[in-house]
Amino acid sequence: MTTKLKETDVVIVGLGAAGGVAALPLAQAGIEVVGLEAGTWLTRRDFAPDELRNNYRGWPQGIQKANQEIPTSRANAASATAPRGAIHPMQNAVGGTTLHYWAQSWRLNPWDFKVVSETKRRYGASRLPPGSTVEDWPFGLDELEPYYDKVEYEVGVSGQAGNVNGKIDPRGNPFEGARTRAYPMPPLRSTDFLDKMTAAARSLGWNPFPGPAAVNSRAYQNRSACMYHGFCNRGGCHVDAKNSTAVTTIPRAQATGRLKIVTRAHVTTIEVDGNGQVTGVNYLADGVEYFQPAKAVLLASYTYENVRMLLLSKSKVFAKGLANNRGQVGRHYFSHHMGAGVSALFPWNTNAWYGLPAQGVAVDNWADDNFDHGGLDFIGGGNLWVYSDRRPIGAAGMNTFGRAPNWGSAWKTFIKENADRSNSAYIQKSTLPYEDNYLDLDPQVKDPLGYAVCRVTAEYKENERKLSAFTQDKMEQWYRAAGAIAIQRAPLGGAMGVSTHAYGGTRMGDNPDTNVVNRWGFAHEAPNLGVLGASVMGTSGAHNPTLTVQALAWRTAEHLVKNWRNIGRT
């Protein structure tokens, strides 16, 4: 039997990067919030610099909800389903994946909001890739800038500004859109190797700069500065220098007395009334079923679960799933093209045994539309990212660049000599949505509660593969300029699979026929349902998503506060 609880103003489903931010402006405005979180609180005592545990045994997902509902995936509707992964990389805990993410904290560039109109203006409509469903965002970077600024200061981001109010600073990214002020903290420190890479980029006439990180470069908000000891790639920070929402916005929202957090609360479905307004959510905690009524619901459970939850929440008004009468839930899906990296071998040590993946040097000259595509046959580009992070097991798995076998004493000798002489760049590339890339419910595979898991049907198309080859050329040029003696390139990419940067599925836009949520993040078909996360984003740009996800979450929550009488169910 379901226990019906006392009604609250707002329920947030999931207290991760997005939900953990949205709670703060709501609670500060006097709105009563219940945060339902599938995981528990983790503290600095739960985090360990243990590569085996963090990176190979999938800590702590092995015992968690995410691992029991890993999406299935296939390249396209005609291809077979790929073997299912054993570990889901996303986190179930208060703070969500911000606990163990890399913490690169990027804004999008101005072009990312206007891919369609800018491509038509600069190169003509024929340059938009065939089959792409990309649309301009319903607003530009200027509208999101105040929210980027807000989150950078509330959460704490270290970085070097490149464009403050239109004034270009050559130490930062000259391609970034104008910002109103500098970052709250200076960038993380550099290393000899990063300095060499910076000098090499400058010798090519490029504009290298230190990347932004949600990690304290100095003490901030009474928490420690980073110690640069590493192991926070898929591990939490045991000195709270990584600015997860669990140590920033969530405790601040709790301090208002208006955020109640229920942990181990697994939300299964969202309920609606006969008018299509949401009335609350059903959840399970310790095997007991509850219904939490609310005047408004904010769904913030990461892209795959956001889409799955809507598709599973069927009713008389929404027979195909909540907010899906126009069949848009699950459409316009894509994941960042993060593969197709480049590895280099140097004749000297890089001393990368300490450091963290958010400590690095970036080049944006070949990102987005920062260069002329007139003579090229693709649109978009990639952010080149070289960072300082190396751990023992990962190092032993290094590329041998065709210079040694992959086993035996010759291999051991090669690894011993070269383990600190290689570097692998991470190239984050803009990726577009396409007609035949989508999410839906798997017809066969179910979670332990009997609910269908999400199914990914998606592959990288010609445009993304061409820009991957182009950015690999640029990365090779950069490594060679720094003295690399061998280069290895990863394959250009085929099936998308399950991703940590998953976009779309509940896209934001003014047109209800092609988008699930409106420009404020509320469902066109169910106006008191807000959706938070990269599932609302229609383009990815060439930079990691989380700061944008958090800026959008703040904006949606603020809109709810300002329009409470119109949006909240009476």
Ligand X SMILES: Cc1cc2nc3c(=O)[nH]c(=O)nc-3n(C[C@H](O)[C@H](O)[C@H](O)COP(=O)(O)OP(=O)(O)OC[C@H]3O[C@@H](n4cnc5c(N)ncnc54)[C@H](O)[C@@H]3O)c2cc1C
214 contacts ligand SF4 (rule: CB under 6 A): no
Q: Is 5 in the site for ligand SF4 (CB under 6 A)?
A: no
The answer to the question of residue 360 lying near ligand X (CB under 6 A) is no
Binding mask 517-546 for ligand X (x = CB under 6 A): ----------------xx---------xxx
* Angstrom distance (rounded) from CA 443 to CA 440: 9
- Alpha-helical (H) ranges within 30-101 are 51
Among 10, 11, 13, 307, binds ligand X (CB under 6 A): 13
Long-range interactions of 59-63: CB distance < 8 A, separation 24+:
59/234, 59/235, 60/91, 60/93, 61/87, 61/88, 61/89, 61/90, 61/91, 61/92, 62/87
Q: Per CB under 6 A, does 418 bind ligand X?
A: no
> Using CB atoms, what's the residue nearest to ligand X?
16
Residue 424: CB minimum distance to ligand SF4, A: 19
Residue in 12, 18, 259, 356 binding ligand X, rule: CB under 6 A:
18
Distance of alpha carbon 222 from the chain centroid: 27
Nearer to ligand SF4, 31 or 356 (CB): 356
Residues between 240 and 279 that touch ligand SF4 (CB under 6 A): 241-242
Asked if 42 touches ligand SF4 (CB under 6 A), the answer is no
Residue spans of beta strands (DSSP E) within 350-501: 360-363, 382-387, 422-429, 438-446, 452-457, 486-489
Provide the 10 A C-beta neighbour count for residue 298: 28
230 binds, among ligand X, ligand SF4, none (CB under 5 to 8 A by kind): ligand SF4
Do 567 and 298 meet the contact criterion of CB atoms below 8 Å apart?
no
99 near ligand SF4 (CB under 6 A): no
| Among 24, 90, 340, 551, interactor with ligand X by CB under 6 A | 90
Q: Which of residues 240-269 bind ligand X (CB under 6 A)?
A: 265-267
Site for ligand SF4 in 354-413 (CB under 6 A): 356
CB of 535 to ligand X, least distance (A): 7
For 261, the token pair is 């957090």
Q: What span, in angstroms and rounded, lies between the C-alpha atoms of 549 and 22?
A: 10
Burial profile 387-420: b = 16 or more Cβ within 10 angstroms, e = fewer: bbbbbeeebeebbbbeebeeeeeeeeebbeebbb
> Does residue 23 bind ligand X (CB under 6 A)?
no
Q: Does 305 bind ligand X (CB under 6 A)?
A: yes
Size of the site for ligand SF4 (CB under 6 A): 12
What separation in angstroms does the CA of 352 have from each of 191, 211, 247, 392, 403? 8, 17, 28, 11, 22
Residues lying near ligand SF4 in the complex (CB under 6 A): 215, 226-230, 232, 237, 239, 241-242, 356
Residues that bind ligand X (CB under 6 A): 13-19, 36-39, 89-93, 96-98, 100-104, 234, 265-267, 300-302, 305, 358, 500-501, 533-534, 544-546, 549
